[in-house]
Amino acid sequence: MKKIYIIILLWGPVSHVAAQQTPKDTSGITLTLQEIWDKVTVQSRSVQIKRIEQNSNLESIRDAKTERLPDVSADGEYARVSNMPVFDHGIFHTPSQFPVLHDYYKIGSSAYLNIYNGNKTNLKIAQSKAAYRIAEVKTNLTLSEIKLKATAYYLDMQRSLIFEALLQKDIHAEKKQLERIKSLQTNGAVLKSDVLRAELKLSKQSFALVQLQNDLLIANDKLNTLIGAPDGQHIHTAATQEPDSINLDSHINYLDYADHNAFKVKISEGETELSRLQLKDVKANLLPKVGLFANYAYSYPQIFLFPYSGNIYGFGMAGIRASYSISALYQNSHKEKIAKLDNDAKEVEDLKIRDELREDVNEAYLRFQESIKRLRVAETNVQQATENRRIVNNTYFNHTSLITDLLDADTQLLQTQFDLAAAKISAQFQYYQLLNITGKL
C-alpha cells in the first residue's frame, strides 16, 4: 500500500493533457467490501485450486479406509502342456514317453483379510486425515490472503477516488487563481514569469489527474479479475469502516488468539502431527502381520495329487497366515532414524513459525497504532497548511510575497490533504492485515 501519493511533475500543455482524460463511467455496480469478499470466496482461481486439492485429500481418506476390506481376486489359466519324456536309462538313451493330457485349464478365486499389520492401515488413515486437515487450513489461508489482496485493490480505488476529487478541486481553484494572476500581469502588477509558473503547475496537476484515473482503472481491472467480473465492469466502492470506529482488542488477546488460530500455526501443527504418524509407520515395519486367507479353484486335468486323473477337480483351502520380516531388523534402523530426524525438524520448525508469528502480530499491532497517530498528525497538518495557504494567498495578492511562495503553499496544502487520505486508507489496511495474520479475516 502506498502511504503518500507523489504528484509527478512532467511537462505538457494543459489543453493536451485534458484531452487525454478518460470520461468518468457512471455505469457499473456498487459493491461493499463484504460483498467483494463473498465473491472472491466463490470466484478466486487460487481458492478453487486449493479446494480441488482438499477434495483429493478427502478421497485419499476414503481410499485408505478401503484397505480394511478383504482383498479378493479371481484368476484363470490355460496352458498347452508338452510331452513328458522319462529318461529311464539316462539322458543319452531313448526316453520312455509318459502319456499326458496336453490341454490344461484352471479357474479360481482367492481372498485375504488383514487382521493385524502393525497398525499400518490405521496409521495410513490417520495420515490421510492429517493431510486433509492441512489442505483445509491451506484453503482458508489462501482465501484469507485473497481477501486481503482484494481489500488492497478496493482501498486503492477508494484512495484514488479521494485523490481524484481533491485534485479536481485543486485544478478548479488553480484555474481561478491563474485568471487573477493574468489580470495582475495585464495591469503590470506581476511579471510574465508568474503567469508561466502558474500555468506550468496547472499543466502538471492536470497530468497527475490522468495518472490518478489510470490508477483507478488498473485497480478496478485487478478487482474484476479476482471476483470473476467481466472485463471493463466498473465497480463503485461503498463506505468502509472508519479507523476511529475500529474496536481494537488488547495486544495479549491478539497474540493468544493467533497462537491457537493463525493459519500458519495450524498448518505447522498439522505437518508436525503428520511427521509423528510417519515415524510410527516406519516403526510398524518391525511388527508381525496376521491375516485370514482362503482360495478355491477348479482345474483340469488333476495333476496336483497322485494318482493323476483326466477329470475336472476342485481344490481349496482356508486358514490364518502370519509373517514377520527378519530383514527389517537391520534394514529398518536407518529409515527410523531418518523419520525421527524429520519429526525433530518439524517440531523445531513449529517453534520457529510461532516465534515469527509473534513478531508479525507485534509489528501489525504497532503499525496500526502508528497509522492512527499518523492520521492525527495528518489532520493537524491539513489545518496548518490551510491556514498557511490563506496567509500566503493574501500576502501574494497584496504584493508582499513571491509567486513561488504561493505555489509552494498550494502544493503543501494539496500534499497534506493527500497525506490525510492516505493515512486513513493505510490505517484501514493495517487493521485488515492484523486480522489476516491472526486468522480472523
E strand intervals along 226-362: 235-237, 289-300, 313-323
Q: Is residue 433, in this structure, part of any structural domain at all?
A: yes
The residue written with cell numbers 509552494 in the block is 408
Helix, strand or coil, per DSSP, at residue 269: helix
- pLDDT (tens digit per residue) in 159-215: 999 998 988 888 888 888 888 888 887 877 777 888 888 888 888 888 888 988 898
Q: What is the pLDDT of residue 265?
A: 94
Q: How many CB atoms within 10 Å of residue 207?
A: 23
φ and ψ at residue 105, rounded to 5 degrees: -125, 150
Q: Is residue 424, in this structure, part of any structural domain at all?
A: yes
Q: Is residue 207, in this structure, part of any structural domain at all?
A: no
Taking CA atoms, 363 is separated from 210, 264, 282, in Å, by 36, 17, 42
Q: Which helix (H) or strand (E) holds 103?
A: strand 103-116
CA distance 405 to 388: 10
Q: Is residue 201 within 8 Å of residue 410, measured between CB atoms? A: yes
Specify the length of the chain in residues.
441
Q: Is residue 366, in this structure, part of any structural domain at all?
A: yes
pLDDT band at 27 (very low <50, low <70, confident <90, very high): low
Q: What is the overall mean pLDDT for the chain?
A: 86
Q: What is the pLDDT of residue 36?
A: 92
Quote the domain boundaries for residue 274.
241-287+337-441
Q: Is residue 429, in this structure, part of any structural domain at all?
A: yes
pLDDT band at 341 (very low <50, low <70, confident <90, very high): very high
Q: Is residue 33, in this structure, part of any structural domain at all?
A: no
DSSP 8-class letter at 68: G
Phi-psi region for residue 229, left (φ > 0), alpha (ψ -120 to 50) or beta?
A: beta
CA 337 from chain centre, in angstroms, equals: 34
| Higher-pLDDT residue of 101, 418 | 418
CA distance 428 to 291: 63
Characterize 268-303 residue by residue with b for buried, 16 or more Cβ atoms within 10 angstroms of its Cβ, and e for exposed. Answer: bbbbbbbbbbbbbbbbbbeeebebeeeeebebbbbe
H helical segments located in 313-402: 328-397
Average pLDDT over residues 127-142: 94
Burial of residue 201, with CB atoms counted within 10 A of its CB: 0-12 exposed, 13-18 middle, 19 or more buried: buried
CATH of the domain at 349: 1.20.1600.10
**Helix count (H) and strand count (E) of the chain?**
9, 8
Q: Is residue 139 within 8 Å of residue 49, measured between CB atoms? A: no
Q: Are strands 29-31 and 235-237 parallel, antiparallel or unpaired?
A: parallel
CA distance 76 to 94: 36
Total domains present in the chain: 1
Cell representation of residue 76: 484363470
Query: Amino acid identity, residue 240?
Result: T
CA distance 133 to 125: 12
DSSP 8-class letter at 110: E
Q: Is residue 341 within 8 Å of residue 278, measured between CB atoms? A: no
Q: Is residue 86 within 8 Å of residue 94, measured between CB atoms? A: no
pTM of the entire predicted model:
0.80
Closest CA to 375 of 243, 284, 234, 185: 243
Q: What is the pLDDT of residue 393?
A: 86
Taking CA atoms, 289 is separated from 71, 141, 320, 322, 402, in Å, by 15, 41, 11, 6, 96
- pLDDT (tens digit per residue) in 89-112: 888 888 888 777 888 889 999 999
Q: Is residue 226, in this structure, part of any structural domain at all?
A: no
φ and ψ at residue 421, rounded to 5 degrees: -65, -40
φ and ψ at residue 101, rounded to 5 degrees: -90, 125
Q: Is residue 276, in this structure, part of any structural domain at all?
A: yes
Q: At what angle do helices 33-43 and 45-65 cross, to 10 degrees?
A: 50
Q: What is the pLDDT of residue 306?
A: 62
Closest CA to 7 of 329, 408, 371, 436: 408
pLDDT band at 305 (very low <50, low <70, confident <90, very high): low
